[in-house]
Chains A and B, each alone.
Chain A
Amino acid sequence: MTVLYTRLARAFGAEVPGLLGFLALVLVVFGIMAPNFLTAANFGSIAFQLPELGILTLAMLIPIISGGFNLAIIYTANMAGLTLAFVLNLYGGPEAGVLPFVFGSVLAIGVGAASGAVMGLVIAYIGAHPILVSLAMMIFLRGLGEFLTKGGDISGFPPYLAVLGHGSVLGVPVPLILFGVCAVVWHVLLTRTRHGFAARMIGSNIRATTYAGIHTKRTLTLIYTLSGVMCAVAGILMLARFNSVRVGHGEALLLVTVLACFLGGVDPFGGFGRVVPVVIALVVLQVLSSGLNLLGANQHLSTAVWGLFLIAVMVLRWGAGRYRQRKPGKG
């Protein structure tokens, strides 16, 4: 048992065993309380609900690791979705072929990257606080989106998009595959590349990183650009899932993504954070929500439980930290 614990902790981060324990606890409690909780149908629905929140959380993760924030993720995703929707409508809406979809997706990712890059440039070269810059970007993008759509929604997309939103390959939902790919890419980026290392260093101590010879300004710009790209992926997925685009779709997820990051053990001050615990934290949140749903509680109670759950986890971490500090002194 201890061997397993240290192995897990060493391979994926110190948060993983604890979070897996929480997950097991939640599964057991709901498995006993809700009769149809441990069914394939329930896990299927969890697998379809998780990816949107998951990809948005990945978009939030890298800026937080670099000691920043990106409050504009939801509206960046919406704008990317809008771009794709405009292109599809230009090519005949429901009759649009696959080529316009590819073209539109590339444009959408370009829009996401561009909005991220602007934020990154302002943060890196002017030195403004990321919360403020991304907040301004969020207000701007929300305004731009409302201006372009007049607050309405755009729908009428080709039927093959349903595969992306609701299809399965070998029993695995397509959105989940997309999320899995994104998570693996992010994991590799953060743990195996120069850029990921530089991002973590910047989160720990940006000045030391500069003195170490890393072009921190370029790295910061790239961090927010990548975050924007991930938002665009989420935007495309949301378009396919809801079969419509409206500015403000997913608004409520903004703070939940931050919550998931903190739950996954990402340091709020930056510098430390890994993809695997965050993904597990996401699963815990989603399982909590669906379990409460099966027990007859509504989405709002889940929101409250998520908040209380994060507080509980932070308090437990505080307790664990004190326990660890005290132990060597006593022995």
Chain B
Amino acid sequence: MRNFLRAYPTEAKLLAVLILICAVLALTSDSFATLGNLTSLLNNNAVNVIWAVGLLVVLIAGGIDISFAVAASVVQYLCVYAFAAIGGGNWGIGLLFAASIGAGLGLINAFLIHQFRIISIVVTISTFNAFFGLLMFFSSGRFLYNLPSWWSQRVILWEHQSPDGTWSEITLPVAVMAVAMASTWALIRHTTTGRQLYAFGDNAEGARRAGISIGLMQAIAFGWCGAMAGIGGLMQAHITKEVVPNALVGRELDVLAAVVLGGARLGGGRGSVLGCFLGVALVAVTQNGLNLLGVSPYAFKMVVGVIILLAISTSNIDLAQILAPKRKGRE
């Protein structure tokens, strides 16, 4: 327990706050702690978590990516046309295609950052404008509804009818989210590449002198983020059953806020998959709770903003220090 607090101070605090909020909501609202509500929270936030773990890898490597949500929109459009061209497709082809196109767009960022030594925020703001402008230009802002049936049909993996007759279910995006989380966790925690990503994010020059290939690190970080963006985009279109060119613009900042709330550091070298999940969960549970408590939906964002501000303002309090037994004298 103390090891967890010391290794993951932000995650531990976040978990404590999340449990507190959940407890309060469970006591004040009848419908919060129901299976139906919890599963729908999972279903509705799976895409955000997928994007969050992608962005996490970039943040760990010391970069930032503003363009991934727009890249996801680009992937959605290309997918629609590609699947129409090959006459259907299926989930395997779809996921592979979305991930590769997304990774390709991410690699454009990585190439510009590495080759021309441009800082990542400048590159991704440029590509944000370029991707979005070109997408809107070529799509003329048209919505697309003609998705192949495998793509737009809901895939229910698990369902359960409670005694009062309401259904609760887990859908495909949740499974994809779980795989995305597990693979990102494996990448950053259990591979040499993952350790190198942390080292590179913490001290790029130090990592370079230690023999780590800088270009490869950028390519892996942005490629991974792009692939996750693409898969997230595929899932988003699966949920909404339509492709809207400007639907995802602005989501990048919400996801960024959630990831950093979860303990990833802007500037690199720190962050965890658990933190990402908790960061997204905190925002989602808060909004869900406000909704169930009958607060006006217009006030949701305001409260979320306050919560993030408070979370940052208290982020320097060290829980491990408080919980640790007082040392007697100096060691």
For the complex, what is the distance from the CA of A322 to the CA of B136, rounded to whole Å?
A: 36
**Contact at A132–B266, with CB atoms within 8 Å?**
yes
Q: In residues 107-128 of chain A, which contact B (Cβ within 8 Å)?
A: 122, 126-128
For A262, the chain B residues whose CB sits under 8 A away are 122, 125
Contact B254 A143 (CB under 8 A): no
The answer on a CB contact under 8 Å between A151 and B257 is: no
How many residue pairs bridge A and B at CB < 8 Å? 154
Most B-side CB within 10 Å, residue of A122, A136, A146, A251: A136
Interface string of A311-325 (1 = CB under 8 A from B): 100110010000000
**In the complex the two chains form, what is the Cα distance from A215 to B294 in whole Å?**
46
27 A-B pairs in the complex with CB atoms less than 8 angstroms apart: A122-B313, A126-B312, A126-B315, A129-B266, A135-B260, A139-B254, A143-B300, A144-B302, A147-B302, A255-B125, A258-B125, A262-B122, A268-B121, A300-B133, A300-B134, A300-B141, A301-B133, A302-B133, A303-B136, A304-B129, A304-B130, A307-B125, A307-B128, A310-B126, A311-B112, A315-B118, A318-B116
Contacts of B313 in A (CB 8 A): 122, 126, 128
Inter-subunit contact A71/B253 (CB<8 Å): yes
- State A262–B116 Cα separation when bound (angstroms): 15
**Among A128, A139, A142, A258, which residue has the most Cβ atoms of chain B within 10 A?**
A139
Among B125-156, those with CB < 8 Å from A are 125-137, 141
User: Which residues does chain B contribute within 8 Å of A255, judged by CB atoms?
Assistant: 66, 125, 128-129
Contacts of A303 in B (CB 8 A): 129-130, 132-133, 136
- Which one of B6-14, B78-86, B173-181, B303-311 is at the A interface? B303-311
**Please, what's the 1-or-0 string for A140-156, where 1 marks a CB less than 8 Å from any CB in chain B?**
11111011001100000
A133, B309: Cα distance in complex, Å: 7
Kindly state the separation between the CA atoms of A310 and B133 in the bound complex, as whole angstroms. 14
Q: With A and B bound together, what is the CA distance between A122 and B310 in angstroms?
A: 10
A269 at the interface (CB under 8 A from B): yes
Contact A136 B309 (CB under 8 A): yes
A window 228-259: CB within 8 A of B: 251, 255-256, 258-259
Tell me which of B135, B260, B304 contacts A129 (CB under 8 A): B260
Q: Which positions 263-281 of chain A face chain B at CB distance < 8 Å?
A: 268-269
Q: In the docked arrangement, what's the CA distance between A311 and B308, Å?
A: 33
Q: Does B296 contact A (CB under 8 A)?
A: yes
Determine the distance from Cα of A255 to Cα of B69 in the docked complex, in whole angstroms: 14
CA A135 to CA B134, docked complex, whole Å: 26
Restricting to B271-322, which residues have a CB under 8 Å from any CB of A?
296, 298-306, 308-309, 312-313, 315-316
**Other contacts beyond A139-B254, A310-B126: 11, CB < 8 A:** A131-B64, A132-B308, A133-B309, A147-B298, A255-B129, A258-B125, A269-B119, A297-B137, A300-B136, A304-B137, A318-B118
The contact of B137 among A71, A140, A150, A298, by CB within 8 Å, is A298
> With A268-B122, A301-B133, A303-B132 in contact, is A126–B316 under 8 Å at CB?
yes
The answer for the CA separation of A306 and B125 in the assembled complex, in Å, is: 10
The residue from B136, B254, B257 contacting A132, defined by CB atoms under 8 A apart = B257
Bound complex: CA A141 to CA B312 (Å): 17
Report the separation of the CA atoms of residues A144 and B301 in the bound assembly, to the nearest whole angstrom: 8
When the two chains form their complex, are residues A143 and B301 in contact, meaning their CB atoms are under 8 A apart?
Answer: yes
A150 CB, min distance to chain B CBs, angstroms: 6
Q: For residue A303, which residue of chain B has the nearest CB?
A: B133
Interface size class of B (residues with CB under 8 A): 35 or more
| A283 in contact (CB, < 8 A) | no
- A138 at the A/B interface (Cβ < 8 Å)? yes
- A268 in contact with B305 given A255-B125, A303-B133, A307-B127 (CB within 8 Å): no
Per-residue CB proximity of A59-98 to B under 8 Å, as 1/0? Answer: 0000000000001000000000000000000000000000
Point out the residues of chain A lying under 8 angstroms from B132, CB to CB: 300, 303-304
B141 to A, closest residue via Cβ = A300
In the complex, B123 has a CB within 8 A of chain A: yes
A32 within 8 A of B: no
Q: Does B330 contact A (CB under 8 A)?
A: no
B256 at the interface (CB under 8 A from A): yes
User: Any chain A CB within 8 A of the CB of B206?
Assistant: no
The reply on A308 being an interface residue by CB < 8 A is yes
CA A136 – CA B135 in complex, angstroms? 28
Minimal beta-carbon separation of B122 from chain A (angstroms): 5
Chain A CB within 10 A, most for which of B112, B117, B254, B301 = B301
Q: Is the CB of B298 within 8 A of A146?
A: yes
Q: Are A140 and B309 in contact (CB under 8 A)?
A: yes
Contact of A307 among B126, B253, B304, B308 (CB under 8 A): B126
Q: B215 an interface residue at 8 Å Cβ cutoff?
A: no
In the complex, what's the smallest C-beta–C-beta distance from A205 to chain B, in angstroms? 15
Contact present for A311 and B126 (CB under 8 Å)? yes
Interchain CA distance A311-B131 in the complex, whole Å: 13
Cβ of B126 and Cβ of A259 under 8 Å apart? yes
Q: Is the CB of A308 within 8 A of B301?
A: no
- Distance, CA A146 to CA B300, complexed state (A): 10
Chain A residues with CB under 8 Å of B117's CB are 318
Q: What is the minimal beta-carbon distance from B125 to any residue of chain A, in angstroms?
A: 5
User: Min CB distance, A97 to chain B, in Å?
Assistant: 32
Q: How far is the CA of A139 from the CA of B305 in the complex (A)?
A: 5
Contact across chains for B312 and A307 when beta carbons are under 8 A apart = no
Report B225-256 CB contacts with A as 1/0, cut-off 8 Å: 00000000000000000000000001001101
Q: How distant is B71 from chain A, measured CB to nearest CB, in Å? A: 13
Structural contact, B129 and A151, CB atoms closer than 8 A:
no
Chain B residues with CB under 8 A of A318: 116-118
Chain B nearest CB from A13 CB (Å) reads 18
Is A16 on the interface with B (CB-CB < 8 A)? no
Q: Does A305 contact B (CB under 8 A)?
A: yes
CB distance from A153 to the nearest CB of B (A): 14
Chain A residue with the shortest CB-CB distance to B253 = A135
- Asked if A310 contacts B128 (CB within 8 A), the reply is no
On whether the beta carbons of B305 and A137 are closer than 8 Å, the reply is yes
